[in-house]
Structure 1
Amino acid sequence: MEGNKMERVAIIGSAGSGKSTLAKQIGQAFQYNVVHMDRLFWKPGWKESTMEELAEKQDMYLQKKEWVIEGNYSGVWGPRLQLADTIIFLNINRYVCLRSVLTRWLRHMGKTRVDLAPGCPERMELSFLKYVWDYPNTKKIKAITAIEQHCHHAQIIILQNRKNVNAFMNNLMTLD
């Protein structure tokens, strides 16, 4: 961290990369609000918000002094990345991500997770698994480009695997 304060943290990466878990850990460590973009995007019954609705919901949190926002939704990245002082990109292997989403599905099947909107019970679709598989080839470059374009002011942390994530959190917990 090089002594830089973390007050506004944006976490992006593939589904199953550990964004929600890391956001919760950082939120607990600093007592910051944690915002899950999936929770803002989805309405009960898995109905989608428009990008305008999502931007409006996100803006309510961006106005706060401290936050941890995890999730993608590249249509509303700009303001989030511009205001973040810390951007964490979870560049986790697709096999690990696939295993994580399948494990999560089995663990929460039929229940609504805290990082999803009420009325959106856990589900699994082939199109979602394909999204996770294709992420390194389709979405990763978009994330890296967005970071490069919007984040010259921020500390950028790229974590490549679970061991890196755990070391990052252990280091964070030892900072004064």
Structure 2
Amino acid sequence: MRRILVYGVTGSGKSTLARRLGARLGLPCHAIDDLTWDPGWVQVSAEVQRDRVREICATDNWVIDAAYGMWVDIPLDRADLIVGLDLPRWLSFSRLLRRTVRNVVRHEPTCNGNYETWRTAFLPRRSILVWHFRSFKRKRRRMRQWHAHPDFPETVLIRSPRELERWLRTLPERTPDAGPT
């Protein structure tokens, strides 16, 4: 496991899990939101996103915390493992809502110096909360298809926080200088 794609619905904990996997396995972790959003919430063009993701995935060691449909083919071609966070909607949405409110109230940056506001959190056209509902079924269906199909990299589906912690305990702990296995 040297190239890992963490996938899941919005708010499922992909970024947190990717950081934990990177730290535990001694792999560099790449936050996809930092590659796809420039300051001022300017979305990076699809071509530039593909170039940035292609550059990361060309290396031998990485953990990435998402896969946008416009370039999902790139990490799928190189991933050793997909970890799908297939959590119930109530759990992922409650996490997302809590995180969004915390980020707005505390004025915490989310990516590349961008900040969520009450307006962006709840305005239907830009709301990450609305996006959760629009994308939930599609993302869930996608990760379940990967899990069921032998042509895709090994896919582990995690369905609860407890199951996630059990699975993490099965992984070896490595340091960055431990080298490849």
With the shorter chain as reference, the TM-score category is 0.7 to 0.9
Q: How many residues were matched structurally?
A: 167
Structure of larger gyration radius? 2
Aligned pair partner of 2:109 in 102, 106, 112: 112
Which ranges in structure 2 are unaligned for 5 or more consecutive residues? 175-180
Q: Which moved more, 1:76-85 or 1:131-140?
A: 131-140
Does residue 50 of the first structure (1) align with residue 83 of the second (2)? no
Query: What 5-or-longer segments of structure 1 have no aligned partner?
Result: 1-5
Q: What SS class does the counterpart of residue 5 from structure 2 fall into?
A: strand
TM superposition score normalised by structure 1: 0.84
Residue 174 (structure 1) shift: 6.8
Aligned partner (choices 11, 17, 37) of residue 12 of structure 2: 17
Assess if the C-alpha contact under 8 Å between 1:20 and 1:36 holds in 2. Answer: yes
CA distance in 2, matches of 1:143, 1:171: 21
**Structure 2 Cα separation of the partners of residues 105 and 49 of structure 1:** 22
Rounded Cα–Cα distance in structure 1 between residues aligned with 2:51 and 2:148: 24
RMSD over aligned Cα atoms: 2.3
1:173–1:107: structure 2 CA closer, same or farther, 3 Å change rule? farther
> Is the CA contact (8 Å cut-off) linking 1:46 and 1:119 kept in structure 2?
no
C-alpha distance 153-73 of structure 1, shift in aligned 2 (>3 A): closer
Quick check: 1:13–1:72 contact (8 Å CA) kept in 2? Answer: no
Matching residue's letter, 1:157: V
> Superposed, which structure 2 residues align to 1:44-83 within 5 Å?
44-83=39-78
Q: Identity of aligned pairs, percent? A: 23
- SS class of match (2:109): coil
Match of 2:22 among 4, 27, 32: 27
Normalising by the residue count of structure 2, what TM-score does the alignment of the two structures yield?
0.82
1:154 aligns with 2:150: no
CA contact 2:146–2:152 (8 Å) conserved in 1: no
Displacement of 1:34 after TM fit?
0.5
